[in-house]
Amino acid sequence: MLIAIDGPAASGKGTLGKRLADHLGFAHLDTGLLYRAVAAVLLNEGIPLSDREAAAQAAENLDVAHLDGPDLRGAAMGEAASVISAYQPVRDALLAFQRQFGSELPGAVLDGRDIGTVVCPNADVKLFITATPEERARRRHLELLRRGEDVAYTSILADIRRRDERDMTRATAPLKAAPDAITLDTTALDADGAFLAALAIVEKKRSKT
């Protein structure tokens, strides 16, 4: 079974994806980390994020064995990833790996922004996870504070709104729910509530197959 989870920044899709995968015994891939890792290569080498050719090359040569570095989780890297993820050559370079991962047995959960629409359009279950910008900013603010990053809530909210605009209006694989995706608004749900709601959707699908 293949589960595709899409949604805007800080919607909780990554946490939800990992929890679903752990519960079901499936493999999990946070595809956003791929783009963050590509952005990290550019930043570490002092290459401008506007250099599309360098970004594409970094994506083609990306070592996916190192996607758990704490440096990939910060707000700045998320912003950088949003920039380079708009480049079609970068997306093309990472597409094959994502699709191959989606074929893992007994199942896989992939979360990102174009999983149900582009990467895995034939996924068995498609979820679109969302929440208000204010709630997403609150969650991200708490997350960063726990990591010791002192970032103002207003700055995070502005960043999330900027990323939403960029992700939804880009010409390449814009952020949107697939026509057959089930939208889950987690604004009023905690992590447990979101997990139970998503699991119910998955189990309903599994019972029909």
- Beginning with the edge strand found earlier in the chain, give each strand of the sheet holding 108-112 in spatial order: 27-30, 108-112, 2-6, 125-130, 182-185
**Mean pLDDT to the nearest integer, 119-135:** 97
- To the nearest whole percent, how much of the chain has pLDDT over 90? 80
**Mean pLDDT to the nearest integer, 180-206:** 96
Domains of the chain: 2-207 (3.40.50.300)
Residues 6+ apart with CB under 8 A from 26: 1, 3, 20, 104, 106, 107, 108, 109
Model confidence pLDDT, tens digit, residues 90-101: 999 999 999 999
CB atoms within 10 A of CB 38: 28
Residue with tokens 């963050």: 36
Task: Write down the pLDDT at residue 68.
Answer: 81
Task: Write down the pLDDT at residue 65.
Answer: 82
- To the nearest whole percent, how much of the chain has pLDDT over 70? 100
Model confidence pLDDT, tens digit, residues 43-96: 999 999 999 999 999 999 998 887 888 888 777 898 899 899 999 999 999 999
Q: Mean pLDDT in the chain?
A: 93
Task: Write down the pLDDT at residue 171.
Answer: 87
Tokens of 22: 């752990």
Q: Which residues are annotated as a binding site?
A: 7-15
Q: Which residues are annotated as a binding site for ATP?
A: 7-15
Task: Write down the pLDDT at residue 44.
Answer: 93
